[in-house]
Amino acid sequence: MNRRLSEQRIRATFRDLSNKRGRVSGRQLCAELRQRFGAVGKTERVFAIWREEVGAVETARRVPLDVADLQRRLVAAESAAAENLARAERAELREQAHQDKWAMEVDRLRQELLAQKSNASAVRMLSDRVQQLSRELVAARSEPT
């Protein structure tokens, strides 16, 4: 294993190339190491370091480093959260109004049913009284005078 090239030198070379050219292939890195230091080192080791560095570069590209961009995103996220909270509160109020309306409707129907039951008993009493009076009338008409 050729340890003449330290990991730091390999990483520094990659970063220099990356800053100058943008994307750097593993072969370009090996060629640059050979040119600068006269040796490449073990290919497996160099390519492992190259993969780590490429991954770090890709991750850095995906993560916004601009503070203003982060602040804009934060403001947008906060306004979206406030909007979602307001929408949830409105939905809760609508649900409460819905529940109240139907509770009152159920109560009204119960009261109506109770009134019908009391009316039914009054009708039954009146019907019984009419039948009783009808019997008394028939009895009174059938009596000889």
Pairs from 37-40 (Cβ < 8 Å, separation ≥ 24): 37/4, 37/5, 37/9, 39/2, 39/4, 39/5, 40/2, 40/5
C-alpha span between 34 and 18 (Å, rounded): 17
What does residue 63 show for φ and ψ, rounded to 5 degrees?
-90, 120
Amino acid 109: pLDDT = 94
pLDDT, mean over the chain: 88
SS3 assignment, position 19:
helix
| Cβ atoms < 10 Å from Cβ of 52 | 13
- Residue 2's pLDDT band (cuts 50, 70, 90): very low
pLDDT value of position 103: 94
Residue 87 C-beta-side C-alpha neighbours within 13 Å = 6
pLDDT at 64: 61
Q: Per-domain residue ranges for the chain?
A: 7-63
- The set of residues, in sequence order, having a beta carbon less than 8 Å from that of 28 and lying 6+ positions away, is 17, 21
**Eight-class DSSP state of 38:** S
**Per-residue model confidence as pLDDT tens digits over 68-112:** 888 888 999 999 999 999 999 999 999 999 999 999 999 999 999
Lowest mean pLDDT among 13-17, 41-45, 94-98, 124-128: 41-45
For position 83, what pLDDT does the model report? 96
Q: What is residue 63's predicted lDDT score, i.e. its pLDDT?
A: 66
Half-sphere exposure of 102 (CA within 13 A, CB side): 5
pTM above 0.85, yes or no: no
Cα–Cα distance for residue pair 138/142, rounded to 1 Å: 6
Residue 1, pLDDT > 60, answer: no
Confidence of residue 145 (pLDDT cuts 50, 70, 90): low
